[in-house]
Structure 1
Amino acid sequence: MNTKLHAVTDENGRPISFFMSAGEASDYTGAAALLNSLPPAQWLLADRGYDADWFREGLQNKGIKPCIPGRKSRAKPVKYDKRRYKRRNRIEIMFGRLKDWRRVATRYDRCPKVFLSAIALAATVLFWL
């Protein structure tokens, strides 16, 4: 079983919400699923996989400024704040802390619902630490 985990964190890197999609699916599916549940924020930091005009437009409609580098295949390069983008490491640190939980790191659970439950439990503990 191959899955991909999409996450939203706060400015401190604490997990807020998750969405699990098929591993072969595009990152756009996770972006579409999490767009409506985004908390109020000034900025959203994301990697190149989330670079889509409709996603940027949806963020701007919510009053959130996107800080997403453009895909390599884009005809016109997209401007983004490179200094602010360096803070995206907090998201990677959050995923690393989730993997400190052996059950999450080794993926003992084959059922995606049970695996997402284990992630939610680990994220709840991480949020308060």
Structure 2
Amino acid sequence: MGRGDLTDAEWERLRPFPPVSNRGCGRWRDRRQVIDGILHRVRTGVHWRDLPERFGPCKTFYERRAP
């Protein structure tokens, strides 16, 4: 757990809300890790592709799609 990550108590309160991955998607391997990555980006303003590796691949958070 890094500085600023969710505590166990905070995660227990949020656990029911993030969607559970379906087999076809597979992006939300660790929902807590994803939420911590999103919160890190909100706090720091870093671009999605510049998130630290501990949050997983940037495609977990951001995928550019054609209009």
* TM-score range normalised by the length of the shorter chain: 0.3 to 0.5
Give the TM-score normalised by structure 1: 0.22
User: Which one has more relative contact order, counting CA pairs under 8 Å at least 6 apart?
Assistant: 2
Q: Which has the higher strand share?
A: 1
Give the TM-score normalised by structure 2: 0.34
